[in-house]
Structure formats: C-alpha cells, structure tokens
Amino acid sequence: MKRTQIAIPSLVRIKPGALDRIGLYAQRHAFHDVTVLHSADLKSELLQRLKEGLSKEGIRVLDCWPVQDASFEQARELFPRIPARARAVIGCGGGKALDVAKYVAFLNRLPCMAVPTSLSNDGFCSPQSSLTLEGRRKSLPSAMPFGVVVDTEVCLAAPKILWLSGVGDLVSKLTAVTDWKLAFHAQGSPVDDFAALLSDATVFQFIARPRRDLEGIRLLATALMLNGVAMEVCGSSRPASGSEHLISHALDALGGSPRLHGLQVGVATYLVSLLQERNADTIASLFAETGFWAAIAEDPFRRADWLEAVRRAPSIKQDYYTVLASRDCLPEVEEFLRSDPHLQGCFTD
C-alpha cells in the first residue's frame, strides 16, 4: 500500500565551509543541547572545527563519543549514554560513525544531523543503518537524518580512494533499477516510478560532469543524498540496491581482507551490467575517466572469491528477484572475468 507520509531531510547544506557553520544550523532549529558521535580516527582539526562552530552559537555539547566500529553492539553501548537533555545527535566522520549515529538517534527518538567528511557511499542519507550483529552485516531500520551538512572542501580533501568508492556506489543505482524492473516483469513486484526516476536521474547528472573538484563533490554528494531519499520514497532499498549489492554482501560474508563497500559494489555493478546487457559502456567509460579501473588494478580482487560470491548471492535475500535469479549466471561470470578487458585487470588468481 502506498505510504501517505515520508521523511526527508529538512536541513540540507552542501557547500564549502559548511562544517564551520554547523552551530548556526543547529541554533536555527533549537538544537541547543547535542551529543556528538564521531569517527574514532576523525582528524582532530575537523573535530575541533565542529566543536568551535557549535560553541560559537551557544550550542552545548553534552557528550562527544568516538565510534570505533559500525556494529549493533557499539550502538547498544552508546544508546543509554545519550542524555535526556539532548535535543539532537550529530554524527560526524565516515560511514561507520554516521550509521551508528543514525541508529542511536532513532532509538532515542531524536533528530540526527549527518556531517560526512568523505563520500564513500550513500549511507549518510538513508533510512537504514548498515551494522554488524555478532559479526554479520545487517541493514537495520533507522530514521532519515533531519539534517545533511556536507562541507565540500572537507570531502575534497579526503583520500581519492574514498571518492572513487562513492562513485562505485552511485553507479550501482543503474543496475539496481534494472533489477527492480526485471522483478516486476518476472514476478509482478511493484515499481515506484518516481523513486526509480529519481535514482536514475541523479546518476546521469553526475556522469555528465564526473570531476573531483568542488563542483564534482557537490554533484556526487547531492546524487548520493537523493538516492537515499529515493529509498525513503518507496519504502524499499530497491532503487539503490540490486544484484551488485548481493554480490558485495556475499563477499563480506566470505571474510578475508575488508574492502571499501563502494569499490566492491562498483566492480560488481559493471559485471552485473554485462549480465543485464544494459549500461555497460556507460559504466566502463565513467570508471576509465575517474581512474576507478586503475585504482582497482593496484589492489585487485581474488577471482575465486568473486565466483563463490556470485554463487552465494541469490540466496542472500529471500524473495529478492534480480538478474542472478533469472538463470544460472555463473558460467557467464567466469567468462567475463577471464575475457572482459576491463575486468581482467581487476582480478588475480
């Protein structure tokens, strides 16, 4: 049944210097007492700028807790520490801290302000938190952030590999939407046309100008944010997550050396686009222009791990139809990994 109400960010600032104005944004919404959850490895300079920006506007930081890992156990530890006086939770840093901040705010029924310092995935603005529970990755319901504050200068200064990870996560929306439509034709799964359109449009807006500069950071941040909104619009992860994410989840379950989510998803997106026979040239060109292929080639994946992940992927989510459920794709995947000129450099024996 169509939902009558959706939650989207009321406060959105994506511009240079936004980090230093965080206190002004909080003050405008009467968030006079806040708790800050930040990445444990957040640069001290950025944390100090955040605190000074809050102090300048008379915003009291009741507590400031480092987030060590994106786990349910970490969230459970922090949940009771949020003071009753707190009017908002501010999450600052990378995806792990923001996922925990969103979930802790959700449990405490408080608004969350998400302040990402890099753009490695779309998690900073989504209605879910990706947390481990007893070592296994889970997507847990949480609230959409009340506010999204992206300092484009801060994100531009983050390592390039994090930007590439964000690019990889962004293009996955192309294969996710295609899988969603496949599910409609195969099983009658309803497609929310507006959510699908919103997800698609944001990708192509970035593809038109895929540069790593202030404007490129603004476009990427906006696109990733709107992908999160697309999920909220339809009440499903379908606009942003398809078979490429199932492959990534299966890789995570195999263990081994952890990789950035967006790097795994990006390679999986191209692989899936070949199976879907759609968007492969567009994705390959974007990855060549941004340096994505070159970055993967510097630290390639193990071919055997990916073949096992593709074998396991269809069983990751029950009743989640994708191209991987349409047929036995493993022989095709084996051939692509061996012969495709782009994928050859991504894998080693």
In three-state secondary structure terms, 62 is strand
Amino acid at 116: P
Residue 1: its pLDDT value, please? 44
Residue 256: its pLDDT value, please? 75
Residue 4: its pLDDT value, please? 59
pLDDT in tens, 76-130: 999 999 999 999 999 999 999 999 999 999 999 999 999 999 999 998 999 889 8
Please report, for the chain, the start and end positions of each structural domain, with discontinuous segments joined by +: 11-157, 160-348
pLDDT in tens, 284-343: 999 999 999 999 999 999 999 999 999 999 999 888 999 999 999 999 999 999 999 999
d(CA 331, CA 182): 20
CATH, range 11-157 = 3.40.50.1970
Give the tokens for residue 313.
């992927």
CATH number belonging to the domain at 160-348, selected among 3.30.360.10, 1.20.1090.10, 3.40.50.1970, 1.10.3680.10: 1.20.1090.10
Q: Please provide the average confidence, as pLDDT, over all residues in the chain.
A: 95
The answer to whether the predicted template modeling score (pTM) of the entire model surpasses 0.75 is yes
d(CA 101, CA 145): 9
Q: Whose CA is closest to 312, among 251, 241, 262, 257?
A: 251
Residue 3: its pLDDT value, please? 56
d(CA 126, CA 75): 17
d(CA 42, CA 235): 32
CA distances from 111 to 107, 184, 340 (A): 10, 35, 47
Higher pLDDT, 233 or 256: 233
